[in-house]
Amino acid sequence: MTENPFNQTLDWTVQGKYARVIDEEGRIFEGWVERVHHGRGSVVLHDVTTGDDEQLGSVFIRLPGTIEVLKPRKRIEWRALDELSPHPDHNGAFTPADATIRRCYRNQYAGSFPVVRENGMIINGHKRVAAARIAGLAHHPVEVVNVTDDQAHELFTIAHRKQADPETTDDDQDEKLSPSTAG
């Protein structure tokens, strides 16, 4: 079964987040989103309060009109490509896929957000930035993270584990990161 990309993005955007849901009758609910039922458009919230500060616990909202994430975890900014620079450990040995270049040209962005530090250093998304440049874009939306040098290096290493160890497979990496094997 192929996943619907819109539904997948909706899940990533709202599941596990604190959100305000306004139903079709104008009632306001705020709580933690557990589940979105795409076929019916329903949502399940926990630890819910209403617009009147009434505590409700868990609520199933059959027909939400609006879902607004109140505590987003991502910070997306529109950045000039000239301001973005590769991570110092990136080997630069890559070629962006033709499909990504075409998507950049057609949609004016790569389809997802490269991750960069405040200073514009790319942590993950070097190919997407390169594709945007080849497509002739001057700007691209990026996810900006506020991390230390050590954290940036660790995030880069995780995102580019195959560059560090070409023999590593996704299964090997999952086993290394598994809580059951952590000592």
Q: Are 108 and 101 in contact (CB under 8 A)?
A: no
CB 83 within 8 A of CB 115: no
Q: What pLDDT sits at residue 174?
A: 39
pLDDT of residue 97: 92
Mean pLDDT by 10 residues, the chain (183 residues): 62 78 89 76 85 85 83 83 94 87 91 93 95 95 93 91 58 38 33
Confidence at residue 88, expressed as pLDDT on a 0 to 100 scale: 92
Q: Which residue has the tokens 């990504």?
A: 100
Whole-number pLDDT of residue 1: 45
The pLDDT, as a whole number, for residue 132 is 96
Looking at residue 180, its pLDDT comes to: 35
User: 12-69 has which fold?
Assistant: SH3 type barrels. (2.30.30)
Task: Identify the pLDDT of residue 164.
Answer: 56
Domain residue ranges in the chain: 12-69, 76-164
Closest CA to 162 of 97, 93, 88: 93
Opening angle at CA 65, ends 72 and 49, nearest 5:
60
CATH topology for 76-164 is 3.90.1530
